[in-house]
Structure 1
Amino acid sequence: MKIRTLLLAASLIFPALGAARAADVEKPDLTIGVGGKPLLYYLPLTLAERLGYFKDEGLNVEINDFGGGAKSLQALIGGSVDAVTGAYEHTIRMQQKRQDIRAVIDLGRYPGIVVAVRKDEADKIKSIADLKGAKIGVTAPGSSTYILMQYLFAKAGLKPDDASFIGVGSGASSVAAMQKGEIDAISHLDPVISKLESLDAIKILVDTRTTEGTETLFGGMNPAAVLYFKESFIKANPKTVQALTNAFYRTLKWLEKATPEQVAATVPEEYWLGDKALYMKAFEASRQAYSTDGNIDEASMKSALNLITATDPEIEASAIDLSKTFDGSFLSKVKTP
């Protein structure tokens, strides 16, 4: 009887707590945009949703999945989503366009992007410079997978139009494009890359899933996926932004200790691309890429700016105020259960 009484009391208390938190935030019902939710690049978003951390903060979050990061950014600018989990570089790029977009928490320390060539082309394409004239698959034109290729092209002395870039999506369609020979190379993320590796379909040229690979390319960390908003939304809804920051920070701490089995058991089965063991392997390959504290330091901001200025002549480094790309005030007030 005592146990039953305690359970009944709990069933009454916890919904009440959730309702209290919902009443405390300005916008309990909100929409987050993302460009390729099944990708491990955006794993913290799926985990926060599936682990119930949004609801614990009194939030009812709807997630809109777009074809690529550039499209989710467009949705934010157009007002059809309230926030985006997307590439940090968007906050820099939009400042040049006089759009005040700010990140509040870093989800990925490294891009996690891999550039690989089709196995039967590997004898001819041994470096980035050899990709001149090739057909290269990216998640979507303008996305982070495309931007990284532009950076690599610039470093190799190639022009942006020295190859054809083809949007291949973020799931099985990208695997199929490589298998069918529709593309010669690919700039993509896990689990797609690990799936292609398991099929012995590719040879890797650049790997930013790891500390070593990222430092070799950039000379340090290079922030990837973040949670960002319009500055106007942050000012109007500080409690809502704090609640989302709390949920994502809690997710990062869960992820820091989670086993591959726990991660695979939490995400939807369709994320496995038909192979649970492969998904776990892919997570392990990308594990170093996730942030553990959510912060972006000045050196990482400058690294991201260097990537952009190397690929886009319209971006003037002197005109960018990096302090306006990341608002760490919410991270400093995070309280976890």
Structure 2
Amino acid sequence: MHASRRTLLAAALCTALAAATPFAQAADAPITIMVGGINKIIYLPATLTEKLGYFKDEGLNVTLQSAPAGVNAENQLIAGAVQGVVGFYDHSIDLQSKGKEIEAITVFCKVPGEVEMVSAKAAPTFKSMADAKGKTLGVTGLGSSTDFLTRYLAGRKGVPEADFSLLPVGAGNTFIAAIQQDRIQAGMTSEPTVSRLLKTGDAKVLVDLRSAPDTEAALGGLYPASSFYVQNAWAESHKDEATKLAHAFARTMAYIHTHTAEQIADLVPRDFYGNDKALYVSALKASLPMYTTDGRMPEGGPETVLKVLSAYKPLVKSAHIDLSKTYTNAYLPAAK
């Protein structure tokens, strides 16, 4: 056989194999995880797992990247630019209604950990979400989980989407600036931004989704949120990597529940808390109960999320969502 013909056949074979395994990846290949705001306390387990060396303990080569909002990270995952995302579980349900399958393989938080903050200026006449009519409300990004939750909370108080505006303002400094400049009268954000606004007096708590009782009162049940999710097809073709990632994150969840907020804060980069580490520790201490102990999906949680999204998303409401394809505990260590 001529060399040129052998070369062509080899090339054709490689092309066929690549087409058959679109998620093919070398065993020690880098894994990139996009985090929807790496300095947010709700997503802290991602950085902690890296700092504690748990990825390396599993033989993984993981790189963490940050996106301004969960929806940005989700888009990167669907495009195949990253292998996993640390974001909100609700995206898995929303995307299934659009014909795309992603699944949470580790759940970090039983509740959103988000807070609807109202500016001090607007607070006298903005006492509940029923007063959202005519207001501009801040979200991290359009199509983000803060967008989902804001629409639901307003609708539950009788305010239709047409009666208020949503403005993407990110989190941290950009969110605070939007409040201070009156570009938004209220908005949804998480820690440590919440504590910073309360300390300066620039905003007050309107709806609190940081605890189980408050979340159940506002949303009708637990709302599993911060999680690590991947494309279902990737997990199926990379079971070893998926298992190692889930095990690494599960170790971190156990670490969080066996160490103090001060000990945990000592592991995070300085830019997570700036010049006020005490404020960060205080916010983290108040946030610890929202974390799962083992990374497993809380019972009844997926049903609550589906109910919330179905309330104002026609595509989700009309779709036959298979919740069993939106999460799995299969890659986690066996329950004790």
1:40 aligns with 2:41: yes
- Kindly state the Cα deviation for residue 72 of structure 1 after the two structures are TM-superposed: 0.4
Q: Which residue of 1 aligns with 2:308?
A: 307
Structure 1 counterpart of 2:230, one-letter code: F
Q: Give the corresponding residue for 1:187.
A: 188
- Trace 1:53-202 onto structure 2 (pairs within 5 A): 53-202=54-203
Post-superposition offset of 1:289? 1.3
Is residue 118–residue 205 contact of structure 2 (8 Å, CA) maintained in 1? yes
Determine if contact 1:46/1:267 at 8 Å carries over to the other structure: yes
Q: Which residue is 2:207 aligned to?
A: 206
Separation (CA, whole Å) in 1 of partners of 2:274 and 2:113: 18
Q: Does 1:218 align with 2:211?
A: no
Aligned residue runs from structure 1 range 315-334, under 5 A: 315-316=316-317, 319-333=320-334
1:179, distance to aligned residue in structure 2 (A): 2.1
2:127 aligns to what SS in structure 1? coil
CA deviation profile, 1:128-173 (whole Å, cap 9, x unmatched): 0111111211111111111110111220122223222122222222
- Alpha-carbon distance in structure 1 between the residues aligned to 2:174 and 2:263: 26
Q: Separation in 2 of the partners of 1:183 and 1:214?
A: 23
Deviation, 1:192, is 0.3
SS at match of 1:114: strand
* Residue identity in the other structure for 1:257: T
1:240–1:234: structure 2 CA closer, same or farther, 3 Å change rule?
Answer: same
Count the aligned residue pairs.
Answer: 311
Helix, strand or coil: the match of 1:146? Answer: helix
CA 317–87 in structure 1, closer or farther in 2 if over 3 Å, else same: farther
Distance 1:311 1:253 in 2: 36
Q: Is the 8 A contact 2:224 2:298 kept in 1?
A: no
| Partner residue, 2:239 | 238
The one-letter amino acid of 1:329's match is A
1:291 match: 292
What is the alpha-carbon distance in structure 2 between the residues aligned to residue 137 and residue 256 of structure 1? Answer: 32
Q: What's 2:260 paired with?
A: 259
CA separation in 2, counterparts of 1:257 and 1:167?
Answer: 37
For the 8 Å contact 1:245–1:334, the answer to whether it is kept is: no
Structure 2 CA distance for aligned equivalents of residues 273 and 162 of structure 1: 38
* Bigger mean CA offset, 121-130 vs 216-225: 216-225
Measured after TM superposition, the shift of residue 332 of structure 1 is 4.1
Question: Unpaired segments of 5 or more residues in structure 2?
Answer: 1-25
Report sequence identity in percent. 38
1:334 CA displacement? 8.2
Any unmatched runs of 5+ in structure 1? 1-24
In the alignment, is the contact (CA less than 8 A) between 1:309 and 1:316 conserved in 2? yes
For 1:149 and 1:36, the matched residues in 2 are separated by: 18
Distance 1:325 1:233 in 2: 14
- Cα distance in 2 for partners of 1:92, 1:327 equals 13
Residues 263, 332 of structure 1: alpha-carbon distance in 2 compared, 3 angstrom cutoff? closer
State the distance in 2 between where 1:334 and 1:247 align.
15
Q: What is the aligned-residue RMSD (CA, Å)?
A: 1.6
Checking the alignment, whether the CA contact within 8 Å between 1:28 and 1:240 is kept in structure 2 is: no
Q: Is the 8 A contact 1:138 1:187 kept in 2?
A: yes
Query: SS in structure 2 opposite 1:316?
Result: helix
Contact 1:92 1:325 in 2 (8 A): yes
Per mean C-alpha deviation after superposition, the further-off stretch among 228-237 and 316-325 is: 316-325
> Which protein is richer in helix relative to its size?
1
Alpha-carbon distance in 1 for matches of 2:161, 2:66: 27
8 Å contact kept, 1:27–1:240: no
Equivalent position of 1:276 in the other structure: 277
Provide the rounded CA distance (Å) in 1 between the counterparts of 2:211 and 2:259: 18
Contact 1:116–1:202 (Cα < 8 Å) also in 2: yes
Preserved CA contact (<8 Å) 1:31 1:62:
yes
Cα separation, 1, equivalents of 2:299 and 2:94: 17
CA drift of 1:318 comes to: 5.9
Deviation at 1:86, TM superposition (A): 1.0
Give the residue type in structure 2 aligned to 1:61. Answer: V
| TM-aligned CA deviation for residue 79 of structure 1 | 0.6
| Equivalent-residue separation in structure 2 for 1:264 and 1:47 (angstroms) | 10
Give the Cα separation in 1 of the matches to 2:265 and 2:226: 20
Instruction: Judge which range, 181-190 or 317-326, deviates more.
Output: 317-326
